[in-house]
Structure 1
Amino acid sequence: MSTPKLILGSTSRYRHELLSRLGLPFEAAAPDCDETPLPGETAAETASRLARLKAISLAGRYPDALIIGSDQVALLDGQQLGKPGNYERAFAQLGAMRGRTIVFHTALALHNSASGRTQERVVPWQVRMRNYSVAEIDTYLRREEPYDCAGSAKTEGLGVAMIDAMEGSDPAAIIGLPLIELCHMLRAEGWSLP
């Protein structure tokens, strides 16, 4: 029996780099799903649903594959924070987050398109932001331009300087792809990993 192809259902360069760390051959493909949160959905539910949809949306193109979907939603005072997209929204996000704790919910789905089985997990991370100044926000945004990251602070880059402390179980989850959980899921599908 041959090993199914591994497909990353994402165009994110961060997720691509993270998955590359495992040294497994994979292809990346753009998933096809609407990423709008649904009314009444919690942050964890939104992240989980979107990770699942991203993986399943590619099953028709890859009928004998393991397809990875992942999504991250940040939560501050019950409000979901998405990717800011531009300087103004990133400035507002970081201003609201100053001195506060944000919970990042990173969801992972692994869909076996041959069997129809989907494994799912949500990995939360608590991030306490520093009480940084308005000038520090401006300097950070102009240097790193983190407009494609939920919460506007890249922990794998200069954004770590905006953070006071972090707590979670899977260090790759905060960047966008929980690798520890993914390894568990791949093993459950019969893959041999160190």
Structure 2
Amino acid sequence: MATDEGGLRERKKRETRFALSQAAIRLTIERGWNNVTVEDIAVAANVSERTFRNYFANKAEAIVATHVERGRRTAEALRERPAGEPLWDALVNAVVAQFEPPPGHDGAVQDGHGTVPDGYAAALQRLLAEPAVQYEVFRAHTTAQDELTAAVADRTGTDAGDLYPQTVAAVISAGIGTALTRWSRNPTGSIGTLLREVFDSIRAGLPDPR
């Protein structure tokens, strides 16, 4: 019973972190970096400013938390893939699943799907160019890659300190980063489709396009 309660508390904490992160992203894209306060984000997520401070030190950290949570979900999804599934298939399916629209999705842009409003791409680029956000993105990237390395090691019977799982995680992280960067510059269509295109190219050994 205690274990169930602990798991429920942890899930609720992750849900709150994700809600705050999504609110931070949406508001800063709509209003601009300098026109959004921590209080604004807390109100949008229907929590107190104190609750926000319990989770994040600043709004940049909140914005990037979505990437951290996605990394954790990807690692968890990889561990849950069928044991007999080839590693690369399992990795791609685990990654793409994190960018698929949730049930009942209302069409708003979120995590790479939905209808893109006018000016979204430019606003997103301005947000990602903020030095504070860039710093947090670097930290989040490291955390997400470490999570994936551990999951790959578990699946392949290797150690997280070995070169193999570290290389696999680095390649997957680079592929995700490439797709996200491309999509942020032209946010149309499904990012899941773009991810599969990137990973298909990697799977083929990055053949000469000529």
Q: Report the TM-score when normalising by structure 2.
A: 0.32
The structure where strand makes up a greater share of residues is 1
The structure where helix makes up a greater share of residues is 2
Please identify the structure whose Cα radius of gyration is greater.
Answer: 2
Q: Report the TM-score when normalising by structure 1.
A: 0.34
